[in-house]
Amino acid sequence: MKLTRALAGAAVLSLCLLLAVQPEAVAAAAAGGKVESTVRTEVVKAIRADPSVGPALIRLVFHDCWVNGCDGSVLLDTTPFNSSAGVEKAAANNIGLRGFDVIDAIKAKLGDSVSCADIVVLAGRDAAAILSRGRITYAVETGRKDGVVSSAAAADATLPESTFHIDQLTDNFARKNFTAEELVALAGAHAVGVSHLSSFRDRINATTRTPIDPRYQAALAGDVEALKGRQNSTDPIEKFNIRDMDAGFRNASGFDAAGVDMAAVGVLDNSFYHANLQNMVLLRSDWELRNGTDPSLSDSLFAFRDNATVWEMEFAAAMAKLSELPAEGTRFEIRKSCRATN
């Protein structure tokens, strides 16, 4: 009993000393905890209301940070610094970008003390954790500021295109100091989410298609035609992952589900690599991962297919690295609205 009271007294004394010596650190930790819990709460709420927003938030991290670093520039609707050109949202490579309303909701809760750039990376991290059922986690620092320039031309010049060949992909990633293995790891995000037909049309066109399983190609072409009617669009959206298609589609494609959790619809896992190694992926850029001379490309594809834990760790590390790409530019601020400069 005396020992228990002594230990309790020591703990109280230690806390008092910490408060006395490092009040700023304690306050910062408390504020940081509030920021993270607020982001998590809003992301959970958004995904419960619309599961498709989870992949969109992960994608938003890449599309923001890859262009001039993590500066929230992808969120801007207008900016006086490039009034003669479109903002990043208008870029061809940003077709279908979503999740802006979730970022707005988080910003409304946190106010002017937290940058939009920080919110983007935190929301993307939490979305990855939720969609992977808690298997993908990583730490990110905060303290970013928001950029004031957003250019559609810059986004189209910087982001990798869905039709890139493998040399273009590896060169694009090398310019950001990312390895071929990290390229393959990040591509695993295509286990979830959707793509517009315009991004994979070349894969189902008889004159332009890269090697693709013919049964999968036929099923995909037929599904796209049906989607045009259901979505009333000439550029419908299709699910990335064959695992998430209905049984009729999978059977028509001849998909080998060995090693894939077929009940994990919408889950961020290593199923992308199972589909890729069967030539059953939407984008040319995904298929091209099989096509390079760098042995780490092929080695990574098989390693990630055969060991989900290895991929989860590599994906988490690559996302953390992506989230720390430094903002480029000379003028920054913490925006009052994520959609406009102050």
Residues 125, 245, single domain; the answer is no
Residue 220 maps to a domain: yes
Positions in the chain whose pLDDT score sits under 70: 1-32, 81-85
Residues 150, 181, single domain; the answer is no
Residues 143, 115, single domain; the answer is yes
Range of the domain at 263: 177-321
Confidence at residue 24, expressed as pLDDT on a 0 to 100 scale: 46
Confidence at residue 208, expressed as pLDDT on a 0 to 100 scale: 78
Confidence at residue 82, expressed as pLDDT on a 0 to 100 scale: 60
Residues 91, 139, single domain; the answer is yes
- Please enumerate, by residue number, every residue annotated as part of a binding site: 64, 67, 69, 71, 73, 88, 160, 190, 261, 269
Residues 243, 281, single domain; the answer is yes
Q: Is 67 exposed, middle or buried (0-12, 13-18, 19+ CB in 10 A)?
A: buried
For the entire predicted model, the pTM comes to 0.89
Confidence at residue 211, expressed as pLDDT on a 0 to 100 scale: 83
* Number of compact structural domains in the chain: 2
Q: What are the Cα distances from residue 113, in Å, to 25, 118, 144, 201?
A: 16, 11, 11, 44
Active site amino acids: 63
Please spell the DSSP secondary structure of 276-335, one letter per residue: HTTT--S-HHHHGGGS-S-HHHHHHHHHHHH-HHHHHHHHHHHHHHHHTPPP-SS-EE--
Residues 45, 152, single domain; the answer is yes
Question: Which CATH number fits the domain that encloses residue 79?
Answer: 1.10.520.10
Confidence at residue 80, expressed as pLDDT on a 0 to 100 scale: 73
Residues 289, 310, single domain; the answer is yes
Residues 120, 37, single domain; the answer is yes
Residues 213, 112, single domain; the answer is no
Residue 187 maps to a domain: yes
